Structure 1
């Protein structure tokens, strides 16, 4: 089957080529990864070396693989919040189907070539981008990068890494700085590697989750609502209740049943630039660590404390609950990087300036405080 549409993704020395019989898939990959990873169209007929992801919009191909999986012993697992039927043959080829999404996967060459077949364009494009990103991640981890659970911004090439548990204020801090002169490098996780005497930093492209209340406080709510009413769309992983709330003008936080998890706006990476006017960074060198927390009763300030990096600040297999390595892409590598690489990064980060800060509910005061702090780093 012909695959005339081709896009290559490049992050440091890692690359993946996405091929498809529909432009929707390759256009999606260029949009999703373009600002942060070098994603560009390559001519049909060019040599496609290195890891490959091939995506076919083809109902018959999906049906064929679905029949093969069900005809042999398989395991039922969860991947990207969907049911996945997974089988592996004697050659190591891994085949899986997601019946609810109409997707089939086939991973060969020890994860070096993954073929997807799908019944509809959007699920196929999302799945293809997800696999391509995981292949880049695996390649970077093999090359000694680690993956941190942090937000990050860059100013004049110097990266400020922002750590904290859920609700600590990582996203608030990053977006306030990005809205006041810094470049946004990462919303939730970032690659780091010791290169010479410096720690190089790379982004992890992903949709960013921003709560309705925070969106309103940042002055971005009306921008998003106006765009939606004009017919534009946010990331399709966003819950429909969030879209409905935006269109209706509801600005209060929206919670899942039970009230334990907030339903948030899912922003495409490129929408930070096109909707919010925030510039995206493609890399930097780590310069300082910031540990924020929110206290509505306090004025924004640097505070005393002994917060240092811990296990929860690194991504790992245990934290990758949505995208386990069912397709053998990482070949046993820890999801946050090898132990030697993590130790080196931990030691290098420990030598950088650490700042623990408290932020209030006064967004303008927070923005002024953070801008001044970042300018001094």
Structure 2
């Protein structure tokens, strides 16, 4: 049986995804794409490096799952599903199984290897990509990077970082500048940051699918494009709720809500470029900080604020409850050492800050933001 391999690289860190199923490696190649320079490599060249191996095999899954359940184990929640964990101090291997997802895991943190075994190819592909990102995160954190909750776009190497909680306008700001001004999209929700030798802060992407509400999709002029692509048989990310797909296909632009949470389109990273013509950027240096508020009916304007970057803007273990570091891949409290976070915070506090109010007119927002941030 042939083996396939895709290597992910960013800032000198590398993780290779290996599988006998090309669909598994293709998934990672598509997901990380240009952001982490994903490229097919000869499996024979994969030697002593960080590895995530995806295997689709019923019998191997059954054997590992049985081994976990028959051993002393604990229970936690991972990726919104129950996960049974069995650690073996004698061999340093962490074994786990998610019965609901029919996925089993074997992690060797000391050897930088993790195996994902399951019954269904798409489920294995999704979990393999997720854990390849976790392994890359661990490597970057060991190299002095930290993780910020921020969206980011790049103009001539200058990164505009946008901060705020859910609904503040991080996505609106990034997509307005990327779609209307042609800036490179570096990240939708999180970025890696590290001080550089020149006294600035380097910024790298955190690859992920992006959640875009139906109203914003319409405002960006992307709704009809998405509908046409779906009608042609293409698909958005499989985490998307079926109600969103149905609304897109029927042309219903009304925002959808469920249990107080807006249901959004889930866009693959490559679809920003392939569907919507938005370029993806791979790096840059922090230049401007933006703190937006989106107010229905408002016109874009600058407002006074004392807001700056604080501890809550960094990703730490207690804020990363969906994917806790149960496999020992990350460390550093999930978002980098305290020293790294403090150094970045001090440097970012010296950059230009802009608190802004934005409305729902994407073009007006983009023109205003381009002027305020100096990329007009």
TM-score (structure 2 length as normaliser):
0.96
Q: Tell me, yes or no, if structure 1 residue 272 matches structure 2 residue 268.
A: no
Partners of 2:289 and 2:352 within 8 A in 1? yes
Counterpart in the other structure of 1:244: 246
Counterpart in the other structure of 1:231: 233
Give 5+ residue unaligned stretches, structure 1: none
Partners of 1:3 and 1:19 within 8 A in 2? no
CA displacement at 1:44 relative to structure 2: 3.0
Counterpart in the other structure of 2:106: 106
- Aligned pairs (5 A) from 1:73-152: 73-90=72-89, 91-110=91-110, 112-152=112-152
CA displacement at 1:109 relative to structure 2: 4.1
Counterpart in the other structure of 1:217: 219
SS in 2 for 1:334: helix
Partners of 1:110 and 1:329 within 8 A in 2? no
Q: Tell me, yes or no, if structure 1 residue 323 matches structure 2 residue 315.
A: no
CA displacement at 1:118 relative to structure 2: 1.2
| Cα distance in 2 for residues equivalent to 1:128 and 1:20 | 10
CA displacement at 1:230 relative to structure 2: 0.8
1:22-53: CA deviation from partner (whole Å, max 9, x where unpaired):
10111111111112001111113224221111
SS in 2 for 1:45: helix
| Cα distance in 2 for residues equivalent to 1:245 and 1:80 | 26
Alpha carbons of 1:111 and 1:254: their partners in 2 closer, same or farther (altered >3 Å)?
Answer: farther
Counterpart in the other structure of 1:205: 207
Counterpart in the other structure of 1:43: 42
Alpha carbons of 1:249 and 1:376: their partners in 2 closer, same or farther (altered >3 Å)?
Answer: closer
Alpha carbons of 1:242 and 1:376: their partners in 2 closer, same or farther (altered >3 Å)?
Answer: closer
CA RMSD of aligned residues (A): 1.4
Counterpart in the other structure of 1:305: 305
- Aligned pairs (5 A) from 1:251-266: 251-257=253-259, 259=260, 261-266=261-266
| Cα distance in 2 for residues equivalent to 1:46 and 1:363 | 47
1:329-371: CA deviation from partner (whole Å, max 9, x where unpaired):
12x3111110100010000000111011111122222122122
SS in 1 for 2:130: helix
Count of residues paired in the alignment? 373
| Cα distance in 1 for residues equivalent to 2:345 and 2:96 | 37
| Cα distance in 2 for residues equivalent to 1:295 and 1:111 | 50
SS in 1 for 2:147: strand
Runs of 4+ in 1 over 4 A off after TM superposition: none
Bigger mean CA deviation after superposition, 216-225 or 338-347? 216-225
CA displacement at 1:226 relative to structure 2: 1.0
| Cα distance in 1 for residues equivalent to 2:355 and 2:50 | 41
Bigger mean CA deviation after superposition, 76-85 or 146-155? 76-85
| Cα distance in 1 for residues equivalent to 2:59 and 2:316 | 37
Alpha carbons of 1:191 and 1:3: their partners in 2 closer, same or farther (altered >3 Å)?
Answer: farther
SS in 1 for 2:44: coil
Alpha carbons of 1:109 and 1:166: their partners in 2 closer, same or farther (altered >3 Å)?
Answer: closer
CA displacement at 1:297 relative to structure 2: 4.2
Bigger mean CA deviation after superposition, 363-372 or 127-136? 363-372
SS in 2 for 1:38: coil
CA displacement at 1:375 relative to structure 2: 3.3
| Cα distance in 1 for residues equivalent to 2:88 and 2:375 | 57
CA displacement at 1:111 relative to structure 2: 6.3
Q: Tell me, yes or no, if structure 1 residue 181 matches structure 2 residue 185.
A: no
1:173-201: CA deviation from partner (whole Å, max 9, x where unpaired):
10000011211000000001001122110
